[in-house]
Amino acid sequence: MTEAISVSPRPSSSTQVNSPARVLIASLIGTTIEFFDFYVYATAAVLVFPHLFFPSSDPTSALLQSLVTFSIAFFARPFGAVVFGHFGDKVGRKATLVAALMTMGLSTVVIGILPGYDAIGIAAPLLLALCRFGQGLGLGGEWGGAVLLATENAPPGKRSWYAMFPQLGAPIGFILSSGFFLLLTETMSNEDFLAYGWRIPFIASLALVAVGLYVRLKIAETPEFRKAVEKHERVAVPVATVFRGHLRSLILGTFIAVATFVLFYLMTVFTLSWGTTKLGYTREQFLVVQLVGVVFFGLTIPLSGWLSDRYSRRMILTLTTIAIAIFGFFYASLLTAGLTGAFLCSIIGLGLMGFTYGPIGAALAAPFPTMVRYTGASMTFNLGGIFGASLAPYIATWLATNYSLNYVGYYLAASAAISLICIRLSGREEV
């Protein structure tokens, strides 16, 4: 039997009403900052960290070790989902979102001031891994709260449209981080970039966090959460309730999200690494390739949100996942077909990413009741990150090195097949 708790909401939270613009800006700006921080690390994990935080005797080994630290955040994210989800479902969405943003922001700034392997030896990668864990912890609590901030304020028939606004934080954060690195690459020598330039975006994120905190502190609690408080529906241990009463939704949602994660981190981290090391592209060339692709990522997110409300999230996710599987069989031939092929590969892959990423937020939150929705949605999304994203760059690098680039595409197609099966197994009310 579910154990309820009774805590009265603060008077100001029960009377203040959020305007649509305030809700959408607050949900978007937080995820933009969080993903900016996250992607700054992803780019540096390929371009910088193998040279500075690991022994330089074996470059391939250093790159693989750097990609392992990249994966740590995905294993931290479910812990963040449980911790922040617990307080988000008991204390409220607003306060928890502020705490998640601070956790992510401080971890990122500390990375920007860490000494390298030559200065402190093995302590350098260990501290880097600890900060990466902090990034994952913060993002694990950010995403679910931002989606709920949007969907729990959405008018009828607009949940997918509202839920896609925090999803826009991903392409915007990526454009900002890649643009930052591209600017640094264009304006300083490689020696200066490796000496101190790469630290600038990490430290500069502190200013973005301050803006995000200001906006978040201005919002009120969501109407659905206030109603749950008034009806004494909150539970003592949300994560226990999720496992006890909503395990099927948790499992299906996790694997519905797998293709989304595999696609994105193949198209960004792995493709950047392979393109600049094995295919002969310069760092500047490939950052531009990715930036163009991310523009299409950003454009297809609102389109997919609109289509999901007009038709259904289930239909849009089904069609997009089939298209991802087909794309997997053409991935290698496009990527290796010169610069034009690389642009096409990036545009198609990241365009498909937008079509799956737009409705995924509302789809993963839908099966869970208000009293455990923060925990349930966050855990589903972040467990999907473990299975789909955490080791995707590592697995893809291993497959391409030991077999061929074609097998990376097969890996993507197989991931899409798993997600498609779970979409079809879920009921219409569950997606």
Write the secondary structure of 343-399 as one string of H (helix), E (strand) and C (coil).
HHHHHHHHHHHHHHHHHHHHHHHCCCCHHHHHHHHHHHHHHHHHHHHHCHHHHHHHH
Domains of the chain: 16-425 (1.20.1250.20)
Annotate 210-251 with three-state secondary structure: HHHHHHHHCCCCCHHHHHHHHCCCCECCHHHHHHHHCHHHHH
Distance (Å, whole) CA 76 – CA 137 = 5
Alpha carbon 42 to chain centroid, angstroms? 11
Tokens at residue 48, please?
């910088």
From 382, 308, 361, 424, select the one nearest 80 (Cα to Cα): 382
Q: What is the DSSP code (8-state) at residue 4? A: B
Predicted confidence (pLDDT) per residue in 301-350, tens digit? 999 999 999 999 999 999 999 999 999 999 999 999 999 999 999 999 99
Alpha carbon 243 to chain centroid, angstroms? 23
Tokens at residue 2, please?
């579910």
Which helix (H) or strand (E) segment is 131 a member of? helix 123-151
Task: State the pLDDT at residue 56.
Answer: 75
Task: State the pLDDT at residue 6.
Answer: 39
Alpha carbon 388 to chain centroid, angstroms? 11
Residue numbers in the chain where pLDDT is lower than 70: 1-16, 428-430
Predicted confidence (pLDDT) per residue in 392-409, tens digit? 988 999 999 999 999 999
Predicted confidence (pLDDT) per residue in 2-59, tens digit? 444 434 344 344 456 778 888 888 889 888 887 788 788 888 888 889 988 988 777 8
User: Which residues, including other chains, have CB under 8 Å from residue 13's CB and lie 6 or more apart?
Assistant: 92, 94, 220, 221, 226
Distance (Å, whole) CA 144 – CA 411 = 28
Tokens at residue 88, please?
């988000």
- The separation between the first and the last C-alpha atoms of the chain, rounded to the nearest angstrom, is 26
